Amino acid sequence: MKGRLRNFKGFDKESIIIIMILAIPAMIENILQVLIGTVDIYFIGKIGTEAIASVGMTNQIMNVYISFFLALGVGTTAIVSRNIGANNVENANNAVKQSIIMSLGIGTIFGIINIVFSKEILLFLGAEDRVIEHGLPYFYSVAVPAVFLCIMMVLSSSLRGGGDTKTPMKVAIVSNIINIVLDYILIFGIFNFKGLGILGAGIATTISRIVGVILLLIKVYDNKTIVHVNLFDKWRIDKDILRSIVKTGLPAGFEKLIMRLGQLVYGGLIIKLGTEAYAAHNIAGSIEAFSYLPGMGFGVAGATLVGQSLGAKKPDEAKKYGLTSYFLSTGFMVAVGVVFYIFAPFLAGLFSEDLEVIDLVVKVLRIIALVQPFLCITLVITSALQGAGDTKFPMYSTLIGIWGVRVLGVYILGIKLNLGLTGVWLAISLDIIVRGIILMIRFTEGKWKDIKVE
C-alpha cells in the first residue's frame, strides 16, 4: 500500500479549498443529524435504563431500513454527480425525480411492515417485556412514518451530488431546533401538559423530519438550483434511470444491510451480557457517532468530486480528490479520538448516573479512540469508491469484516472468553482495521476509474 501511495502527488491549495467548501457544511449537517438521536438519548436517559435500551432497539431496526434508503441516496449521488460533471443537467434532474418516486414506495412499504409486525420485530431483537412496554410507543412514532426519513435522505443526496452541501446543512439546523424544543415539551411537559414520555421523543423526531422534507422540496423546486425538479409536472417512471439507480445503489444498500444485520446478531449477544452492558453499548455508540462526523463530511466531498471528475473525464483528478479528502479527514478524526480518550469519564457521565454503566462506557471510548485512522478509511474511501460507481467492492469488504471478523470476534472475545463489553469492542476495532486496509488497497489500485455509470 505504501508503494501505491507514493504516486499521490500531494495536496494543492485549490483542491483543499474545494473539498473544505463541500465537507464543512456536510460535517455540520451530520453533527446536527446525530444530535437528533443524541438529544433523544439524553432526555430519555432521564426516564430510565429500560427506556434507553428501548430506543437502542428501535434504532437498530431503523438502521436496517436506512440501508435501503442509503442505497437510493448513493445511487442518486453517483448518477447526479457524474451527469453534472458531464454537463448533462437534464439527466441529473430526471434521476432525482425517479429517486423520489422510489423513496415514496420503499418508505411506505416499511411503514406498513412496522405497523403490522411491531411487537414481533422487538421480540426478534431479544427485547424483554419491560423493554417492549417502553419501546412500542417510540417504535410506532419513529419507525411507522419512515417514508419521511427516506425522502429527506434522497433529496439531500441529490443536492450533494450537484455540489450543494449547504442546503442540507441549513435544513438540518432547522430540524434540530424543532426537535430539541419539542423533545423537552413532549417528553416532560410544560404548564398543564404533563408530557408523553418516550412517545413524545418519537413524535418530536418525526415532526422534525417532516419539516425537513418540506424545506428540501421547496429548494429543489427553485429554478435557481442546479438540481431542479418541477413538482407539478407529469411524473413518469423512467425504467432506464431506475435500473441505473438500483444497479449502482443496491450494492451500497446491501453493504449497509450486511452491517446492520451483523449488528442485530451481535446486538443480541450484547443483550445477554445484561441491561447495563447493553445500555453502555448504546451510550458509547451515541458518543462514537460524533467521531464519524468528519469522515462522513469528507466522504460526501470525496463522493461528489470523484463522481464529477469522472464525468468530466479526469480520472487522475478524481483520485487526488479522494486521497486528499481522506488525509484531511484523518486529522479531524484523530483530534476527536484524543478528546474521547482524555475526557471519557466526563462524556460517559453526561448520559448515565449508573457507575457500572459509566465504567463500561469509558473503556469502550478509549478503545474507539485508538482506531480513528482506520475508521476514517472505511468512511471516506468507501464514499469515494461509491461516488465512482464502485459500490460492489465495499459491499464485499463489509461482508468479510462484519461477519468474518466482527460477529465471530464478538462471540469469541465477548462471550466465550468472558471479556464482556470490552471484548465486544475489541472485535469491532479489529474489523475496522481489516476493512480499512482492504479498502485503501482497492482505491490506490484505481480499477474504479473504468466503471461506467449510465
pLDDT digits (tens, 9 = 90+) for 8-56: 455 678 889 999 999 999 888 877 776 666 677 778 777 777 777 777 7
Grid coordinates standing for 341?
A: 480518550
Around 81, how many Cα atoms within 13 Å sit in the side-chain half-sphere?
A: 33
Grid coordinates standing for 245?
A: 439507480
Q: Contact 27/296 with Cβ under 8 angstroms? A: yes
Taking residue 221's Cβ as centre, other Cβ atoms within 10 Å add up to 13
Q: Which of 81, 77, 73, 69 is nearest to 110 (CA)?
A: 69
CA torsion 182-183-189-195 (nearest 10°) is: 110
Q: Does the structure show a pLDDT above 50 at 437? A: yes
pLDDT (0 to 100) of residue 210 = 94
Around 372, how many Cα atoms within 13 Å sit in the side-chain half-sphere?
A: 27
pLDDT mean across residues, the chain: 86
Q: Which residue has the cell 461506467?
A: 452
Kindly list the distances between the CA atom of residue 4 and the CA atoms of 10, 128, 330, in Å, as whole numbers in the listed order: 13, 51, 19
Task: State the DSSP string of 60-128.
Answer: HHHHHHHHHHHHHHHHHHHHHHHHHHTT-HHHHHHHHHHHHHHHHHHHHHHHHHHHHSHHHHHHHTT--
Q: Contact 147/111 with Cβ under 8 angstroms? A: yes
Length of the chain as a residue count: 454
Provide CB contacts within 8 A for 190, sequence distance 6+.
184
CA 392 to chain centre: 18
pLDDT (0 to 100) of residue 148 = 94
Question: What average pLDDT score do residues 116-145 get?
Answer: 79
Question: What average pLDDT score do residues 397-406 get?
Answer: 93
Q: Which of 194, 221, 227, 257 is nearest to 62 (CA)?
A: 257
Which residues are paired to 190 by β-bridges?
193
Q: H/E element holding 147?
A: helix 146-161
Supply the range of the domain harboring residue 233.
2-450
**Domain total of the chain:** 1
Question: What average pLDDT score do residues 302-322 get?
Answer: 90
Taking residue 187's Cβ as centre, other Cβ atoms within 10 Å add up to 23
pLDDT digits (tens, 9 = 90+) for 148-181: 999 999 999 899 888 888 999 999 889 888 988 9
Higher-pLDDT residue of 168, 7 = 168
Q: Give me the percent of the chain exceeding a pLDDT of 70.
A: 95
Grid coordinates standing for 446?
A: 484505481
pLDDT (0 to 100) of residue 127 = 67
Taking residue 365's Cβ as centre, other Cβ atoms within 10 Å add up to 25
Helix (H, G, I), strand (E, B) or coil at 193: strand
pLDDT (0 to 100) of residue 142 = 87
Q: For the purposes of burial, counting CB atoms within 10 Å of the CB of 7, is it exposed (0-12), middle (13-18) or buried (19 or more)?
A: exposed
Kindly list the distances between the CA atom of residue 173 and the CA atoms of 169, 267, 362, 454, in Å, as whole numbers in the listed order: 6, 31, 30, 34
The answer to whether the pTM exceeds 0.95 is no
pLDDT-based confidence at 321, cuts 50/70/90?
A: very high
Kindly list the distances between the CA atom of residue 446 and the CA atoms of 78, 106, 142, 390, 441, in Å, as whole numbers in the listed order: 17, 34, 41, 10, 9
